């Protein structure tokens, strides 16, 4: 049977549905023009330049040049009229009044984008005296003009009502140096003033990515006012939990540092009582009237009239800088969430160690002949004052009608001819350094002669 007769007997549908041979597939694939899959590079140069000029940002041209070798050369330095268009496309002062044949506009564009020449790094406008420096995540980002800032960035305070609960990553936050490109929101809402509204911004690209990732689909039945109200208190609760966590961690680090490296002060402030003092310092900074009496007795309920009188009488815990420093350490711990755990922990330990060393910088040493209480740090003097009160040694007791509280003090353990000391705290420091074994003994007051 011939081949033609064999094909005539077969079903036409079967013949058409049979898979082609590998050689036929290779032949058909080789016959396809590869340029037909990328029609952009086949366009004439004039049409290609006209399309590229419609790009909104000159940086997109550099991205387009990286797609293939053909566009890399066609849109490169050889096409100077294209780059002259981008340098002078915006309104305002024109960099070049006319096209000059020997001028390298491509190099000028690259210098502006790199920050080597003055101008907006988005639109290339000559904004020598009217541009703003943007920092993204604390790192220099771009120098932009006011128009590009308003078109490409959004202020965070505008997102509070429209997107309640939206979180912007710290590395995506934009801060401004050398001025603020946006108008003050006083005309928009009466809640804000020039001093207290958030001046941080975010790129529109990062904003859309955050909205797409975090926001739920829009529901017409959503109660946006309720969500905004609840989000406000949720933030306060989360902030309080973070403050509590950071306080526990910092107090633990400082207590361990005090226990290991400040053994010479343990007789005055025991390691078991030191954390309580740290929390009292925080409480005093937060609400002074809630801080307990340093002798352990709670302060009575006061009215506003006699509150200042108690403050002047010295019955409340004085506000040393230790509480302020702990507050700053808590802020540091909360703001460093994006760091690596090991780096964050080491930095916090070093900061706690530095704060404690600064507060306890002047520690009297054994054998020193100290005559003034100022030889010790103010925090140590406060502890000495509490220690003296507990033992009834705060002031020289009266002798008949004579008041000896301002008279010189004599050390009961030194020779009678020894030099006098000017205060009870100075006497305590002297006994601490010269007679440490007699600290807990009863002091025989011999002042006044």
In a domain, 94, yes or no: yes
Q: Are 242 and 341 members of one domain?
A: yes
In a domain, 1, yes or no: no
In a domain, 123, yes or no: no
Q: Are 203 and 271 members of one domain?
A: no
Domain boundary among 152, 186, 214: 214
Tell me the mean pLDDT in the region 126-143. Answer: 82
Q: Are 279 and 340 members of one domain?
A: yes
Pick the range with the lowest mean pLDDT from 35-49, 84-98, 364-378.
84-98
Output 400 or 385, whichever has higher pLDDT: 385
Q: Are 60 and 135 members of one domain?
A: no
pLDDT tier at 445, thresholds 50, 70, 90:
low
- Quote the number of domains for the chain: 4
In a domain, 282, yes or no: yes
pTM of the full structure:
0.47
Quickly count: other Cβ atoms within 10 Å of residue 322's Cβ. 22
For 64-77, the pLDDT digits (tens) are 999 888 899 999 89
Q: Are 397 and 338 members of one domain?
A: no
Q: Are 247 and 334 members of one domain?
A: yes
Domain span at residue 355 reads 228-359
Q: Are 235 and 353 members of one domain?
A: yes
Q: Are 301 and 242 members of one domain?
A: yes
For 319-332, the pLDDT digits (tens) are 457 788 888 888 88
Q: Are 191 and 269 members of one domain?
A: no
DSSP character at residue 5: H
CA–CA gap between residue 310 and residue 308 (Å, rounded): 5
Q: Are 234 and 340 members of one domain?
A: yes
For 261-290, the pLDDT digits (tens) are 999 889 888 999 999 888 888 887 766 555
DSSP 237-292: HHHHHHHHHHHHHHHHHHHHHHHHH-GGGTTTS-TTTHHHHHHHHHHHHH-GGGSP
State the burial class of residue 326 (Cβ atoms within 10 Å of its Cβ: 0-12, 13-18, 19+).
Answer: buried
Tell me the mean pLDDT in the region 211-235. Answer: 77
Of the CA atoms within 13 Å of residue 194, those in its CB half-sphere come to: 2
In a domain, 221, yes or no: no
Q: Are 251 and 343 members of one domain?
A: yes
Domain boundary among 151, 180, 214: 214
């Amino acid at each position: 049977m011939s081949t033609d007769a064999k094909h005539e007997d077969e079903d036409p549908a079967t013949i058409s549905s049979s898979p082609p041979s590998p050689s036929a597939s290779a032949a058909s694939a080789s016959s396809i023009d590869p340029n037909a899959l990328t029609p952009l590079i086949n366009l004439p140069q004039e049409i290609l330049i006209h399309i590229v000029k419609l790009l909104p940002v000159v940086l997109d041209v550099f991205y387009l040049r990286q797609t293939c070798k053909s566009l890399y050369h066609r849109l490169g330095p050889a096409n100077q009229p294209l780059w002259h268009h981008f340098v002078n496309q915006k309104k305002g002062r024109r960099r070049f009044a006319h096209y000059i044949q020997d001028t390298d506009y491509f190099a000028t564009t690259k210098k502006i984008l790199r920050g080597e020449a003055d101008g907006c790094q988005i639109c290339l406008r000559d904004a020598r005296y009217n541009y703003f420096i943007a920092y993204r995540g604390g790192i220099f980002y771009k120098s932009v003009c006011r128009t590009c800032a308003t078109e490409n960035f959004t202020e965070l305070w505008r997102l509070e009502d429209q997107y309640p609960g939206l979180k912007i990553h710290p590395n995506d936050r934009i801060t401004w140096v050398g001025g603020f490109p946006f108008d003050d929101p006083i005309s928009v809402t009466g809640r804000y003033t020039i001093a207290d509204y958030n001046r941080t911004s975010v790129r529109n690209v990062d904003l859309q990515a955050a909205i797409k990732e975090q926001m739920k689909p829009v529901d017409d039945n959503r109660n946006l006012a309720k969500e905004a109200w609840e989000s406000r208190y949720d933030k306060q609760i989360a902030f309080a939990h973070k403050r509590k966590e950071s306080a526990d961690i910092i107090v633990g680090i400082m207590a361990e540092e005090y226990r290991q490296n400040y053994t010479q002060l343990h007789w005055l402030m025991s390691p078991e009582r030191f954390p309580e003092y740290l929390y009292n310092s925080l409480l005093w900074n937060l609400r002074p009237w809630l801080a307990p009496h340093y002798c352990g007795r709670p302060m009575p309920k006061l009215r506003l009239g006699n509150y200042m009188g108690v403050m002047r009488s010295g019955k409340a815990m004085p506000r040393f800088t230790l509480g302020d420093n702990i507050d700053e350490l808590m802020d540091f711990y909360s703001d460093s969430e994006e760091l690596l755990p090991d780096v964050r922990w080491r930095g916090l330990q070093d900061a706690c160690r530095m704060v404690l060393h600064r507060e306890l910088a002047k520690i009297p040493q054994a054998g020193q002949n100290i005559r003034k209480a100022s030889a010790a740090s103010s925090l140590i003097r406060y502890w000495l004052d509490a220690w003296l009160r507990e033992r009834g040694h705060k002031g020289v007791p009266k002798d008949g009608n004579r008041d000896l509280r301002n008279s010189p003090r004599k050390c009961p353990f030194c020779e009678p001819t020894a030099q006098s000391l000017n205060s009870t705290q100075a006497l305590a420091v002297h006994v601490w350094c010269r007679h440490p074994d007699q600290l807990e003994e009863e002091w025989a007051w011999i002042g006044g002669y």
